[in-house]
Structure 1
């Protein structure tokens, strides 16, 4: 299995399970927010939004 195969599988998984991906990003953001004591909540939220958008775009790309 080459790198292109892994990339295509990732695109398929993100495209099919976007809701689960979003949930994972939110959980990771919440973890980071907890670890920083809420000091960087605004930045973490912005990062979550950008990551979700980027992953959706990656998952929607046609080969």
Structure 2
């Protein structure tokens, strides 16, 4: 099962495609870089660590 690539920060609703990086916890709660910094890299929902979400490739590699 692949990651659900959420499009908005769960805290401030910022559109994440405008950011180079998004941050997620093990439950895929998703936050923008600014909110992640304010939260000190701790998910407010589960208490887990927020880490940089991997990016999908721009195009499919053959």
Same fold (TM over 0.5): no
TM-score (normalised: structure 2): 0.28
Q: By percentage of residues, which structure has more strand?
A: 2
In our comparison, the structure showing a higher alpha carbon Rg is 1
Q: Relative contact order (C-alpha < 8 Å, sep 6+): which is higher? A: 1
TM-score (normalised: structure 1): 0.28
